Structure 1
Amino acid sequence: MDEELIDEGDIPRSRYTRLPGKGFFYPDSLDDERAERRAKETIEGSEAVVIADGDADGLACAAMIREAYDAALDPADFEAAIAARLGDGERNDEEPDEGAGDDEASADADTDDPTEDAHTQSPVGLVAAGPYSIDTSLERVFAYADDDVDLFVCDLCPDDYEWIAEPLEALAESTASIRWFDHHQWDESTAAAVRDLGVDLVVGESDEECTADVALRSLDHDFDDRWAELATVTRDHDLWLKEDPRSDDLADYSYWAGSEEYTTIVGAYGADLPETVREYVTDRRVEKEARIDAAVDRAVTHEIGEWTIAVTYGRCSQNEVAEALRERGADGAVIVKPAGSASIRGSEGFQHAHEVAGKVNGGGHPQAAGCKPDIYDDMLDYAHHWTTEGQACKRVILAAFEAVAEEVAEAAAADESDSDGDE
């Protein structure tokens, strides 16, 4: 492929935000080979291994675990690399597909990190993952970890037990311990099956704690106050409380930085990022805000049941777009991504995002979920997706909203009937 076709340098934003980032056009086989190689380098010889979601919450847990093992990396090299990126005006064009199964691309964001061997330096290896690559990550730990390694899994929730059963059961026999920290909503049978293996599974209340809170109270270590502050600020964004402006800095930085870089920097500085990092985040936000504006301008609202649902398309930051659409009166928002996935966001008036996502190959929380409808058979389907701004994807998701609206209405009618019968 002619690289100029996907080079954004001379392409208007109105056009390139309708297309996936360059990583989408990178063959999965080559990406898988690189991910496998890096996992092997990371895991081999490690005293402990952390499999964590590659967002601010999961990586905060990784930083805490490294602190507990006295295994944090020196931030100096990373800070120098950040300053160099800032000076070069570098812009990472990749947009992770949240909750949609494209996890290797989103988790392995270290591609241009000049500290190329950082992932091999800590005795606590870090494997960044996503909800749909938990099984692959577990398999890699089993393949490359020494016997009696300590394994941690953070901020990840499997949809069901069966697809992680084989590697997790094997690891339960070979590891010294497995501890799993999370705050998502677990199916009771899945949680019971995991615990039956001897896994120390600690699940916090999803509307009260982030996983960093869970890790902080679960790890047997005397953490100083900055770690509690890091958990609090991480929770502020992860639960969308929006009370501390530093939480946006953490979320944005984790999105743009590699997993090793973010873990090292917050491990050293906590929630108060150093000046170089703040400058970098501020610089990157110029592009971010422009993409948000473009997505908001493309939004179309639909009345479904008692809800007003805004639907848009584009490569953008889904949480901020959803917030802007809520401010315009939407109860829920759908952000369809060029890579084929979609983020579904709710509000106090709409807390069924996970139910909608569950009908189209996804899942999540009542007010935050992700999905990737199984509608893409070949590149012509993707071409249609890009040129119609996700028309087919929007259609199946709106149908899911309608189905959930019917279920909610039926449940409300049944409750009313039961109530009348009790009188």
Structure 2
Amino acid sequence: MEDELIDSSRLSLPRKSVLPGAGFFYPDEFDEERAEERAKEKLEDASVAVVTDTDADGLGCVALLREAYDAALDVADFEERIEERLGDEDEDEDDEEPALAGEDEEERPKSPVALMGSSPYSLEDDLQRVADYAPEGVEVYVCDLCPDKFEYVEEELAALVETAGEIHWYDHHQWKPEVAEAVREAGVDLVVGESDEECSTDVTLRELDYEFDERFSDLAAVTRDHDLWLNEDERSQDLADYAYWTSKEEYVAVVGAYGADLPPVVEEYIAHRRVEKENLIQAAVDRAELKTVGDWTVGVTYGRCSQNEVADALREAGADAAVVVKPAGSASIRGSDDFERCHEVADLVNGGGHPKAAGCKPDIYDDMLDYAHHWTTQGATTKRVILRAFEQVADAVEKEEAEAEAAADADDDEGVETER
């Protein structure tokens, strides 16, 4: 395949909005080989390994850990590279695969606190890589990740327990009790914060035995503002966007040095990237539809975009919940005060998350023809599958309410009978 065909920088915005980024087209084998090589290099001399989600919350945990272990990288090199990117007019601003082409972390100084970026879909592989490549007795932290089932990570966690000195797991997602119990029984120090009150950075800040500077407390608060969708601090969107657009190591170095008050060069870079971001958001909002499911109005759309801002716009248009289907096949589900069952919907379509925010990727893509249909129909099948999951949740809620009403009536009847 010619590189030009998957080069997002050459696409018009309408086309870029409906197609995935270049990284989508890389074979899994290529990604796995690259991941193995980079994991080995990062972990071979590490004293601490952090397996973490790569959003602002997960990376905020890494910034705290590197500060606590006196292992932060020099931020000056990263700031210089940001300046270079700002001067590069041909930079591929690819929202789906941030910093893939220019990410050269293996060429930079390594921290003894190794950063292993992960996701719910690669967690077991990344745990195994730490077990395979980290030194005996390494201290391990798993942050901002939650397995849907224990069997997904059972073997890899057992291998890691054999290698690691200690394993700490800090998270704030909705854990199934049986999964949490099994993880703890495996020998892990698992701490799960209240998902509607704390982010994982909060949990890490609280659990680490270290006197952090005030900028880290502020970083946790601003990260929480975005991660819990409070949107009360204007800096929180900057953190979220920056974590999405840049490399993992750069984000950790910058917020570790500056906290939530990002330096001018980063603010300039964010402003530069937001021009296209706003256009992609608007394209997704323009193609959205409102559907009625049970007592709820669900806004459904498709496109490469920032899902939180799109969800905000759909809520303003009257939606109780929003579904943003992505070109890569995944989808984001966002709720509101009137809909706090996003995780229940996601559970039905190969996903999970929080009551007001969740993600999923329905298992419906068997070959590239399925993806071609996905792009040309703007996610029609995925939308239909997720809306069906909403219907299942609505039916379950209706059944619960009917049973509760029947139980209440029975109690009333029993009370009347007793009086007689």
Taking structure 1 as the reference length, the TM-score comes to 0.95
Aligned residue for 2:218?
A: 229
1:7 shift after superposition: 2.8
Q: State the secondary structure of the residue aligned to 2:18.
A: coil
Change in 2 beyond 3 A, CA 1:115/1:384: closer
| 2:9 and 2:92 in contact (8 A); partners too | no
| 2:9 and 2:94 in contact (8 A); partners too | no
Q: Please list the CA deviations of residues 337-369 of structure 1 after superposition, one character each: whole Å capped at 9, or x if unmatched.
A: 111111111111111111111111111111111
Quote the sequence identity (%).
61
Aligned residue for 2:83?
A: 83
| 1:23 and 1:94 in contact (8 A); partners too | no
Q: Please list the CA deviations of residues 7-57 of structure 1 after superposition, one character each: whole Å capped at 9, or x if unmatched.
A: 334432112211111111111111111111111111111011001110100
Query: Which residue identity is paired with 1:25?
Result: F
In terms of mean alpha carbon deviation, does 291-300 or 6-15 score higher? 6-15
| 2:225 and 2:233 in contact (8 A); partners too | yes
Aligned residue for 1:298?
A: 287
Query: Which residue identity is paired with 2:291?
Result: H
In terms of mean alpha carbon deviation, does 128-137 or 11-20 score higher? 11-20
Query: Which residue identity is paired with 1:271?
Result: A
Q: State the secondary structure of the residue aligned to 2:73.
A: coil
Q: Is 1:281 matched with 2:270?
A: yes
Query: Quick one: distance in 1 between partners of 2:342 and 2:235?
Result: 27
Q: Is 1:92 matched with 2:93?
A: yes
Q: State the secondary structure of the residue aligned to 2:352.
A: strand
Aligned residue for 1:117?
A: 107
Query: Quick one: distance in 2 between partners of 1:171 and 1:63?
Result: 23
Structure 1 unaligned segments of length 5 or more: list them: 97-105
Query: Which residue identity is paired with 2:44?
Result: E
Change in 2 beyond 3 A, CA 1:9/1:186: closer
Query: Quick one: distance in 1 between partners of 2:406 and 2:317?
Result: 35
State how many pairs are aligned.
Answer: 411
Query: Quick one: distance in 1 between partners of 2:101 and 2:63?
Result: 20
1:372 shift after superposition: 0.9
Q: State the secondary structure of the residue aligned to 1:17.
A: helix
Q: Please list the CA deviations of residues 377-422 of structure 1 after superposition, one character each: whole Å capped at 9, or x if unmatched.
A: 1111111111111111111111111111111111111111111222
Aligned residue for 1:101?
A: none
Aligned residue for 2:169?
A: 180
- Computed over aligned residues only, the root mean square deviation of the Cα atoms, in angstroms, reads 1.3
Q: State the secondary structure of the residue aligned to 1:394.
A: helix
Aligned residue for 1:73?
A: 73
Larger Rg: 2
Query: Which residue identity is paired with 1:53?
Result: D
Q: Is 1:8 matched with 2:1?
A: no
Q: State the secondary structure of the residue aligned to 1:35.
A: helix
Query: Which residue identity is paired with 1:117?
Result: E
| 1:110 and 1:259 in contact (8 A); partners too | no
| 2:52 and 2:59 in contact (8 A); partners too | yes
Aligned residue for 1:363?
A: 352
| 1:234 and 1:247 in contact (8 A); partners too | yes
1:111 shift after superposition: 4.1
Query: Which residue identity is paired with 1:7?
Result: D
Query: Which residue identity is paired with 2:251?
Result: Y
Aligned residue for 1:319?
A: 308
Aligned residue for 2:30?
A: 30
Aligned residue for 2:141?
A: 152
Aligned residue for 2:152?
A: 163
Q: State the secondary structure of the residue aligned to 1:88.
A: coil
Taking structure 2 as the reference length, the TM-score comes to 0.95
Q: Is 1:346 matched with 2:347?
A: no
